[in-house]
Amino acid sequence: MHGKFQLSTQDTTRTKFFVNQPVSYCSKCTSSIDQNHQSNIRFNNRLYHTNCFTCGICHKNLSDSTNTNFAIHNNEPICAQCKQANAKICYACQKPILTGGLITFDTNVYHDDCFRCSQCQKLLTYETTLNKHNSKPCCAACYDKKFAPQCSQCLKPISTDKILTCDTKKYHPDCFRCDQCNRSLADEKDLYEYNSKPCCYQCYNQRTAPECAKCHKLISVGKILKWNENKYHEDCFRC
């Protein structure tokens, strides 16, 4: 079914027409409701001729229905049968959602009371932090305990969506730091590794770059020229 589908919070009311009252118009046929129509129906802040008050899907007349509370589809009332046939199915209990709230999570819909943690059955309706496992909702406690990856630095679970990976190891953004100087690497584009741990560019050069045999400084950029087992900056390689 396409369009808006909800449960009305207003009942239908019938009003009689009185001579000299302002002219009203039917929301269905748009014709006036005058003294030739002895009564009309008000629903969802709209007026209808009694013969125009019909189901928005199957067009069955609803004016004689004992039910005064109707679901709404595209701002029109719908009958109980169409409501049942077009209701969305709860992903948890597989029953139609006919009354109460509807919760959407990962493209699936749930009754309010069915929206629970797939591991411990805790009600999640009012939770602000949610995780999922196998497309099912999972509370923060169960996710951290059973499914969250472990940070290689602090060894605590990473429950947020921001997971930084270096050489198959995972880190919290705040834990992803140079192992030598503790500088944050979370925003670095070029990453290095020293002794199997993350390392910033400066520390990596200090520990791995060769020393120039002429000026005795580290050769961290540019070409490295070799002569008789010695290494030189390109500019230092002179007679």
Q: Does domain 5-86 have CATH number 2.10.110.10?
A: yes
For domain 102-146, give the fold. Answer: Cysteine Rich Protein (2.10.110)
Query: Domain extents for the chain?
Result: 5-86, 102-146, 164-207, 210-239
Q: Which residue has the tokens 């199997």?
A: 196
Please tell me the predicted confidence (pLDDT) of residue 7.
44
Q: In 39-188, which ranges are E strands? A: 39-43, 46-49, 71-73, 76-78, 102-105, 108-111, 131-133, 136-138, 164-166, 169-171
Q: Which residue has the tokens 């959407």?
A: 104
Cα–Cα distance list, 81 to 52, 86, 104 (Å): 19, 9, 24
pLDDT tens digits for range 121-180: 999 988 888 888 888 999 988 988 888 889 999 998 887 667 888 878 899 999 999 999
- Upper half-sphere CA count for residue 207 (Cβ side, 13 Å): 14
Helix (H, G, I), strand (E, B) or coil at 48: strand
164-207, which class in CATH?
mainly beta
Please tell me the predicted confidence (pLDDT) of residue 37.
57
Give residue 207's identity as a one-letter amino acid code: R
pLDDT tens digits for range 35-79: 665 678 888 888 888 889 999 889 999 988 877 778 888 888 888
pLDDT of residue 14 exceeding 80: no
- Upper half-sphere CA count for residue 99 (Cβ side, 13 Å): 4
CB-CB neighbours of 150 under 10 Å:
14
Helix (H, G, I), strand (E, B) or coil at 105: strand
d(CA 48, CA 139): 48
